[in-house]
Amino acid sequence: MTPPPARTAVVTGAGRGIGSMIATGLAERGYRLALLGRTATHLHATADRIAARVPGAEVHVVPVDLTDRDQVQVAALAVVDGLGEVDLLVQNAGVIERAEVAFADDDVEDVWRVVETNLRGPLLLVHALLPGMLAAGGARVVHLNSGAGYRGAGAYTGYNISKGALARLTTMLDTQYRDRGLLVFDLAPGVVATDMTHGMPVHADRTEWTRPDDVIELVAAIGAGELDELAGRFIRAGADTPTTLHARTGQILRTDARRLTLSLWGPDDPMR
């Protein structure tokens, strides 16, 4: 089952940074939107920016703490009341540790704050919206992920754990619901210049940044159904484009690439 091209979208963390950029880009492409995030003033600032760029755009502002189950349930009802069917869910909201240090030197409560925000939020929201998505014949979900979820690093333990777990959520949803029309993608935005990335010491000397338009182009391509064959897999803005992904789709599927999995040593590996 393949859902039709998306015309409504929910964007979390839409008050600032990449989330605000994605929401604006989708509005410019004619989407009706719901903006979710913790801070109402930031969400309204994004809505005002969209109104200035796209007169008449339909934008619903829904303040919510995405780690609070009761608030998420109320927010999901507000989204459905405003938009009707949710065609595209962009799960962008996320945080990173306050200190760029190895685990032994980190505050474990801060590590857990990052894991909880970056994983519990997406889990709660997709769970709340999933029955309606399935009843409507499916939808597309984009998890804003990171290459950090697929490799080790010397710092930001909670962030890496959370992104790895988010990739596994993508796999689970793909496995359980693809045949009912739910198409889920991991999209790494690269390194976009935002308040968060500018505040990270690891990027202090960076001179090359991922263009926001590259991220928006991929989100829009997913919403339009152009990348449906790659559902359940990882793509990265700044390295991938819709054109390059189309060219590589056969190879990706043949080798089962771009998916969180266990690497085996060969055909005689007992874990095969």
Known catalytic residues?
159
Cα gap 11→14, rounded to integer Å = 6
Structure tokens at 245: 């992904």
Residue 31 in 3-state DSSP?
coil
Q: Cβ(160)–Cβ(118) under 8 Å?
A: no
For residue 166, CA distances in Å to 17, 64, 126 come to 20, 20, 12
Cα(221)–Cα(205) distance, rounded to whole angstroms?
A: 32
CA atoms within 13 A on the CB side of 113: 11
- What whole-number distance in Å separates Cα of residue 185 and Cα of residue 240? 14
CA atoms within a 13 Å half-sphere pointing along the CA-CB vector of 164 = 14
Is residue 245 within 8 A of residue 233, CB to CB? The reply is no
Q: How far apart are CA 35 and CA 43, in angstroms?
A: 6
- Determine contact, residues 121/67, Cβ cutoff 8 Å: yes
